[in-house]
């Protein structure tokens, strides 16, 4: 006759009042009565399995007062705001960088040089133009580019020319001939000539007289002059219709 199975210790009996949970965890091979039951992760969930004679039982919990409409509306607004924030975050995660997407489409074709300069962070030199010809050159890094050669460049050193109007003192057209005609038609040409000689001597001695004579025979006119300038730009947008030639700098 087989020996009866030894009765478990009261501290290891799950239904005993002397059950010791720490000793049960340390005992190897000890299985709970229903191994498929999921463990409860907090004490509040254990209140529902307590008997009714225990004050901490969920049955003995006080009945909560019904919530107000304002509280319910505030909770709904908070949930809607949270869902909107999560949707925006998911949309940003789905969206790729716009500039990188544009560059990916231009890897083939004549714009491949600019694409490689963008990927390698290489400096380029761009010749620009205006309505009268070559304007100057720009040296910098490509930040973005499209199929129309529109570019965003940064850390740019530019050398360019500007056409300005510069005033100059020139002879008045026909003014000298008019003065000579007035002298010839004078009633007393000899006396006028003598007076002119005296006046010329005085004017040679007086700077004011020289200025007065200069004002009579000269005038100011504006003439075009090409000036060359330099400047540094942190970032600039360059239109494709102003690009003449592009070169990669080593």
Please state the pTM of the whole predicted model: 0.41
Residues forming beta bridges with residue 232, ordered by sequence position: 157
If one looks up domain 98-166+224-248 in CATH, what number appears?
Answer: 2.30.30.100
pLDDT digit string, tens, across residues 80-92: 999 999 999 888 8
Which pLDDT does position 108 carry in this prediction?
66
Band of the pLDDT at 179, cuts 50, 70, 90?
very low
Least confident of 56-60, 115-119, 231-235: 56-60
Residues 9-25 have a mean pLDDT of: 86
What is the pLDDT averaged over residues 191-204?
A: 61
Yes or no: say if 145 and 104 are a contact pair by the CB < 8 Å rule. Answer: no
Q: What's the pLDDT tens digit per position in 207-242? A: 554 455 555 677 788 888 888 999 999 999 999 999
What is the C-alpha to C-alpha distance for residues 151 and 244, in angstroms, rounded to an integer? 13
| Phi/psi at 128 (5° precision) | -115, 160
- CA separation for the pair 10, 29 (Å, rounded): 16
Tell me the per-residue pLDDT of 150-166, one tens digit each, with 9 for 90 and over: 999 999 999 999 888 88
pLDDT of residue 132: 81
């Amino acid at each position: 006759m087989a020996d009866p199975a030894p009765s478990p210790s009261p501290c290891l009996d799950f239904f005993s009042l002397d059950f010791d949970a720490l000793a049960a965890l340390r005992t190897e091979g000890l299985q709970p009565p229903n191994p498929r039951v999921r463990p409860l992760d907090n004490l509040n969930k254990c209140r529902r399995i307590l008997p009714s004679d225990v004050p901490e039982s969920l049955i003995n919990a006080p009945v909560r007062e019904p919530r107000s409409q304002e509280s319910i509306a505030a909770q709904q607004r908070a949930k809607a705001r949270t869902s909107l924030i999560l949707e925006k975050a998911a949309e940003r995660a789905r969206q790729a960088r716009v500039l990188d997407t544009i560059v990916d489409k231009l890897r083939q074709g004549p714009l491949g040089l600019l694409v490689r300069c963008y990927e390698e962070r290489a400096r380029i030199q761009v010749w620009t133009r205006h309505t009268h010809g070559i304007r100057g050159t720009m040296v910098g890094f490509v930040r973005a580019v499209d199929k129309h050669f529109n570019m965003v460049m940064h850390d740019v050193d530019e050398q360019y020319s500007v056409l300005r109007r510069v005033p100059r003192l020139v002879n008045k057209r026909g003014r000298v001939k008019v003065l000579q005609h007035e002298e010839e038609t004078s009633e007393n040409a000899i006396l006028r000539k003598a007076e002119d000689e005296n006046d010329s001597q005085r004017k040679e001695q007086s700077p004011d007289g020289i200025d007065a004579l200069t004002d009579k025979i000269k005038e100011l006119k504006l003439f075009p002059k090409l000036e060359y300038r330099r400047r540094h730009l942190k970032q600039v947008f360059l239109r494709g219709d102003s690009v003449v030639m592009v070169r990669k700098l080593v």
